[in-house]
């Protein structure tokens, strides 16, 4: 899951403990959110940062439910085509797990041959992207080294 650290970074989640992951307005990201289950672990990625990279781990605390910000005309995420009767968008709640000792920059991840097939490298614009168990374990090892 990707977020801009100035808007909502791993430090924000650490302070809050649990927070909604709202505002997804891309159908592929929305569909990825809808597949998440309570307990799933999430790599928390800082995007549009210098450098961008994986900052830590979160966990799904609540499975997908309608994103009510799409019904709020004063919200930046308002979508007039979404309603409580026909919600277009979903969100999950995530729980803080840990912050890596150091950010794992995107460029460093790209240099790891075992990660070359990661979806992140092919579609970096999506806010929510699946990660294989093998790639997840490699990233955890990199974070610990």
CATH number of the CATH domain containing 124? 3.10.590.10
Q: How many domains does the chain have?
A: 1
Looking at residue 70, what DSSP letter applies? G
Structural domain containing residue 123: 2-144
> pTM for the complete prediction?
0.90
Share of the chain above pLDDT 90, in %: 71
pLDDT tens-digit profile of 83-127?
A: 888 898 999 999 999 999 999 999 999 999 999 999 888 876 778
Secondary-structure percent of the chain, ordered helix, strand, coil, rounded to 5: 30, 30, 40
64 DSSP 8-state letter? E
Angle at 135 between CA 126 and CA 26, to 5 degrees: 10
Taking residues 24-31, what's their average pLDDT? 89
Per residue in 61-91, pLDDT (tens digit) is 999 999 999 998 898 888 888 888 889 899 9
């Amino acid at each position: 899951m990707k977020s801009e650290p100035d808007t909502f970074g791993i430090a924000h989640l650490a302070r809050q403990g649990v927070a909604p992951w709202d505002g997804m307005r891309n159908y592929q990201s929305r569909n990825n959110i809808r597949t998440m289950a309570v307990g799933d672990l999430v790599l928390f990625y800082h995007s549009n940062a210098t450098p961008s990279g994986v900052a830590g781990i979160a966990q799904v605390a609540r499975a997908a439910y309608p994103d009510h910000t799409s019904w709020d005309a004063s919200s930046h995420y308002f979508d007039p085509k979404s309603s409580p009767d026909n919600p277009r968008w979903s969100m999950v709640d995530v729980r803080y797990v840990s912050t890596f000792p150091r950010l794992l920059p995107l460029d460093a991840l790209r240099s790891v041959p075992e990660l070359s097939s990661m979806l992140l490298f092919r579609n970096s614009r999506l806010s929510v992207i699946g990660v294989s168990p093998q790639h997840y374990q490699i990233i955890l090892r990199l974070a610990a080294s």
